[in-house]
Amino acid sequence: MPTFSPGLVHTPVTPFKKDHSIDYDTYAKVLEFHIRNGAEALALPMPEGEDMSLTDPELRSLLKFAMEQVKGRVPVIAHVSDAGTSIAIERALYAQSLGVAAIVSHPPYFWHPKPSMVVEHLVRIGNAVKLPFFIFNPPVESVGTTLSTEIVLELIEKLPNLVGVVDAGLDFVFMEEIMCNGRPLRPDLQLIAGADFMVSAGALGGSGVFSPLSSVAPKLVRELFELCRKGQFVEARSAQENIGALNHAIKAAGASGLRDGLAGLKTVLASMGRDCGVPRPPVRSAGEIERGDLLEAIAAMPFLKDEPRGW
């Protein structure tokens, strides 16, 4: 049975040029930045990498580019999620052929599927590959559906290569339940924080994180990760609150009903000397007033002074 504990996983953004095409020159810089700034693994393209806005050929070419750029220095986890099961399976097989370390999949986009459809979708993708397989629990506001404890338990029974749940749902009850009911079925089942809220997941026995804020504040993310890895959850509170403030400011910007934070993230990155363009339509970029508010909020965060500027 394959196993893989990815640790501190950075989740890069996808840079775009003015014509909205993928900016590969900048993407190379993005990947180098993450490797230089403490990524133990990369997962891409996660929601903050705007995976839903990329075509199937682009998703493949992005992954291939990343594998060639990273050259095995850190493991790469391929995010393969789609509305269609067969589309996702084909892309997962392609990712496997490129030599990725693991696959992470989200419940199927768009359908508001019943639990049995979610199970069917994820089982077929997981079964198609011979790699460690992670399932991603999206935020409750998100597209498609969130995972339930029952879905996770059924997936554990049906997928020998299911190694963990990457949780961005942030629900205490779900996290507790998959740990206390899932671990008896799969003793090394991993709970991985799917957003930068590591203290709550870590206290409940989680390990590792997929960190959206690693592109902005890799030092702070590393500090919080180390404290949680050592079980110093009370000591981690101040770093977690700083992360919370940064997360809040970024998510408050932009017009997204999902509070996806994409507009805010790219605004902050540009202000820190790492211009990655603006999000692809239909996501709106931050307007002038929002941009002003966000940059003012960021300027008032002294803990960001130590974070890297430029590439």
Binding residues (CB under 8 A) for other proteins: these are: 140, 170-173, 175-177, 179-181, 195, 197, 199-201, 203-205, 231, 233-234, 236-237, 240-241, 244-245, 247-248
Shortest CB 73 distance to other proteins, Å: 31
Q: Residue 179 corresponds to which tokens in the numbers above?
A: 């740990």
Looking at the Cβ atoms of 70 and 201, the one nearer to other proteins is 201
Q: Which residues are within 8 A (CB) of 286 and not within 5 positions of it... i.e. 6 or more apart?
A: 253, 254, 263, 264, 267, 294
Tell me if 30 sits within 8 A of 279, measured CB to CB: no
Looking at the Cβ atoms of 259 and 280, the one nearer to other proteins is 259
Shortest CB 154 distance to other proteins, Å: 16
Q: Residue 300 corresponds to which tokens in the numbers above?
A: 């008032």
Tell me if 38 sits within 8 A of 8, measured CB to CB: yes
Reduced to 3 states (helix: H, G, I; strand: E, B; else coil), residue 221 is helix
Q: Which residue has the tokens 């017009």?
A: 255
Looking at the Cβ atoms of 144 and 244, the one nearer to other proteins is 244
* Residue (of 49, 125, 118) closest to 87 by Cα position: 125
Shortest CB 199 distance to other proteins, Å: 5
d(CA 201, CA 224): 12
Looking at the Cβ atoms of 139 and 218, the one nearer to other proteins is 139
Looking at the Cβ atoms of 175 and 286, the one nearer to other proteins is 175
Q: Residue 92 corresponds to which tokens in the numbers above?
A: 């997962």
Looking at the Cβ atoms of 236 and 278, the one nearer to other proteins is 236
Shortest CB 229 distance to other proteins, Å: 13
Tell me if 55 sits within 8 A of 62, measured CB to CB: no
Q: Which residues are within 8 A (CB) of 218 and not within 5 positions of it... i.e. 6 or more apart?
A: 10, 34, 37, 38, 39, 307, 308
Reduced to 3 states (helix: H, G, I; strand: E, B; else coil), residue 103 is strand
Which residue type does 109 have?
Y
Q: How many angstroms separate the Cα of 57 from the Cα of each of 3, 42, 66, 80?
A: 29, 20, 14, 13
Shortest CB 242 distance to other proteins, Å: 9
Tell me if 278 sits within 8 A of 16, measured CB to CB: yes
Looking at the Cβ atoms of 65 and 233, the one nearer to other proteins is 233
Shortest CB 310 distance to other proteins, Å: 30
Looking at the Cβ atoms of 110 and 172, the one nearer to other proteins is 172
Looking at the Cβ atoms of 6 and 169, the one nearer to other proteins is 169
Shortest CB 212 distance to other proteins, Å: 12
Q: How many angstroms separate the Cα of 119 from the Cα of each of 84, 95, 152, 240?
A: 13, 21, 8, 33
Shortest CB 40 distance to other proteins, Å: 22
Shortest CB 239 distance to other proteins, Å: 11
